[in-house]
Amino acid sequence: MLTIPDLIDLDRYPLDRPGSVAFAELVAQCQAMHREEDCANLTGFIRPDALTALAVEARDLLRNGYQKSQLRTAMFDQGDPDKPEDHPAQRIFREGSLQLASDQIGNTLIRGIYEWQPLTDFLAAVEDRAELYPMADEFQALNIIQQSHGDSLPWHFDVNHFTITLLLQASEAGGDFVFVPDMRNGTEVDFETMQKIFDGDESQIRRPSRNAGTLTIFRGRNAFHAVTPVAGKTPRITAILTYDERPDCVSSPRGNTFVYGPRVEAIYRLRREASESQGT
Ligand SMILES: [Fe+2]
């Protein structure tokens, strides 16, 4: 089994040497990227010769993925009855993907990367937080998503504050990660900018260039983000690693059912039934 030094290019990204000058320089470099570009993009984070193993592992796991084709708004619902019909919160998009929830990704190479404490510590240092934690949500913590020809991930915000994405396999065309920073502050959403984006205004859209093996750090709770439609016969495969300042950050059963579909809905139903029968 490949170990962390086989997978992550620690010569280039010395996450295993906190306290060293090289580590401090890397953190400072990432913080500068965050300030200037609102996301830190680490190309070649995964060693090229380890990429195949991670992609093969992901493809294998994805055989049990949830084939999603759903219509939703950018706010992960079917529209807001309290808002006018032409409001951007009413705009419906199709999300097409093959998705694995965290509980479907067992003791794997990608799980080893996600749970490697120096990666969490590095992210906390970049984000200038005393401590970060892998998200406690049993379904959202670590995901693998595949988009095939014609699939896309429509615009949205994340539930958690900090997200790392790791591109495991790039598509031949399309599949660009796009985002607009700082569009949500607390519960305040910048719907004016959202309207402009939906009307085709690309002036505020960032499009970092990424290859397979690139690690991207960004603030998905505040950044409005999407993946453009994938084209070609090679699917785009990404691992999504989520973290939060709270050790107990979880999504709601309703939110998880919406994201992960009937399998997760059934898990919640069985638990509800079991606790009801215990209570009687
Ligand atoms: Fe996201």
* 160-216 pLDDT per residue, tens: 778 899 999 999 999 999 999 999 998 899 999 999 999 999 999 999 888 999 999
Cα 260 to ligand 1 centre (Å)? 14
- Per the structure, the complete domain to which residue 236 belongs is given by 4-279
- Residues around ligand 1, an ion, CB closer than 5 A: 158, 220
CATH code for the domain of 24: 2.60.120.620
**In whole numbers, what is the pLDDT of the chain averaged over residues?**
93
Phi, psi of 108 (to 5 degrees): -120, 175
Cα 186 to ligand 1 centre (Å)? 16
Cα 252 to ligand 1 centre (Å)? 16
| C-alpha 74: how far from chain center | 15
Please state the domain count of the chain.
1
* 120-160 pLDDT per residue, tens: 999 999 999 999 999 999 999 999 999 999 999 999 998 77
Cα 81 to ligand 1 centre (Å)? 24
| C-alpha 25: how far from chain center | 26
